[in-house]
Amino acid sequence: MTKLTHRLAGYLETLARALRRYGRDDGKVLVLGGVRSGKSRHAERLVAHHPHLVYVAPGLPPSAEDPEWAARVAAHKARRPSHWKTVETTDLPGVLRSATGPVLIDCLGTWLSRVLDEVGAWTQKSGWELRLDERLEDFLVAWAQARVPVVAVSNEVGSGVVPATVSGRLFRDVLGALNSRVSAESDRVLLVVAGRVLDLP
């Protein structure tokens, strides 16, 4: 009886994972990819069927001082359906905890860059490591506890050359670790390479 119970429990868990993975609402989904890989477009397609959605843009707001970044932001805005609500904030935990419907975060890389700046990592302010850990853990707890469909886009930074600067290596290492932690708490993880989507087991 014990073997049968264990076998049945295993079957039900496999079925539950399959339903989360391939159901219409995918639970928590992490979409990884390199620059211009098509990761954002794919993430948008995953949530396109929702009549209402909160689009979280945690990167720097566009400014005249950086026309290239402003053009990128404008292109992203032009793609979004008019019924999506855009929230520009670095308070990802707050958004996830208060969400009553689906959420799309694009992206964790731009969010981390701002968080590193806010905690004083770039200038090595005293205590920045502790402040960074607190911010990351707060987000990870909110992600794990999210009860609405949520898709997060992030940069896959582990396949390129080693950055030449200390700040570049710090960003790569922290984002790589963050992606791994988010992946562990996700129902589905996708890797987008040259517009092709790989479903990671």
Residues 58, 88: Cα–Cα separation, whole Å = 6
Q: Residue 165: exposed, middle, or buried by beta-carbon count in 10 A (0-12, 13-18, 19+)?
A: exposed
Residues 171, 112: Cα–Cα separation, whole Å = 8
Instruction: Enumerate the active-site residues.
Output: 76
Cα Rg of the chain (Å, integer): 18
**Contact, 100 vs 75, CB < 8 A?**
no
CB-based contacts of 87, cutoff 8 Å, min separation 6: 54, 55, 56, 57, 95
